Amino acid sequence: MSTTTKPPRRPYLLRAMHEWVSDSGGTPHVIVDAARPGVQVPRAYVKDGKIVLNVSASATQRLALGNEWIEFDARFAGVVHHVKVPVSAVLGIYAGESGEGMVFSADESGGPEPPAKPPAPDEPTKRPQLKVIK
């Protein structure tokens, strides 16, 4: 078994869902936790600590869906803003028209997966048993 860690799933799922929503004729939107460190969004549009961003090709310029960051320029009330969001701050992605999409759980935050829980000390470890069948 390799000792290298697997890359996080979230950026790959984001890109796949973005492509699927776009190819389906929908408008991809992401929900972002605006309180996370590194989130650069127009604060006037943040509600309850979250912001919904239209990340369609027609609403953004220079959209980059990277492994660490989502970055683009977009107009808010006619004013161009540079938006930069850590992928770990994205809570979900969905089609604006239908609501179809994906919500990310905390364990998909982009960090390494927690190790498997070892058995409790008083819990006996069962060994596999083989039976001879004739």
Q: Give the pLDDT confidence score for residue 117 in this predicted structure.
A: 45
Beta partners for residue 75, in sequence order: 80
* CA dist., res. 56 & res. 128, Å (int): 53
Looking at 2.60.120.260, 2.30.30.220, 3.40.50.720, 3.20.180.10, the CATH number of the domain 10-103 comes to 2.30.30.220
How many whole angstroms from its chain centre is CA 122?
39
Torsion of CA 43, 11, 29, 109, to 10 degrees: -60
**Residue 98 above 80 pLDDT?**
yes
pLDDT band at 105 (very low <50, low <70, confident <90, very high): confident
Q: Give the pLDDT confidence score for residue 5 in this predicted structure.
A: 86
CB 10 within 8 A of CB 109: yes
Residue in the structure block whose two tokens are 């803003």:
81
* CA dist., res. 14 & res. 20, Å (int): 10
Q: Give the pLDDT confidence score for residue 119 in this predicted structure.
A: 47
Q: What is the pTM of this model?
A: 0.76
